[in-house]
């Protein structure tokens, strides 16, 4: 049984990910630190851990809110 990738709402278009939030033991057991730029779709996904960063009040955030309503 697999877990769905983590989704984080952010307020900046430039984010970083090291995979540590999903791994017990912290950054030492995560993945290399990568910086991601949120695109015109309003989100970015980490290529290592598939964590999704959604820009608050951006297109992807609006779609998620509409789907939840």
Bridge-based pairing state of the strands 34-37 and 52-55: unpaired
pTM of the model: 0.79
3-state DSSP assignment of residue 41: coil
Closest by Cα among 67, 53, 68 to 12:
53
* Alpha-carbon dihedral 24, 27, 28, 33, rounded to 10 degrees: 140
Sketch out the chain's domains with CATH numbers.
7-68 (2.60.260.40)
- Token pair, residue 63, equals 């779609």
pLDDT in tens, 15-56: 999 987 655 555 556 789 999 999 999 999 999 999 999 999
């Amino acid at each position: 049984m697999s877990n769905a990738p983590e989704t984080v709402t952010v307020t900046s278009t430039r984010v970083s990910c090291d995979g540590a939030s999903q791994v017990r033991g912290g950054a030492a057991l995560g993945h290399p630190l990568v910086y991601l730029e949120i695109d015109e779709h309003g989100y970015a996904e980490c290529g290592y851990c598939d964590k999704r960063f959604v820009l608050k009040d951006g297109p992807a955030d609006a779609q998620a809110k509409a789907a939840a309503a």
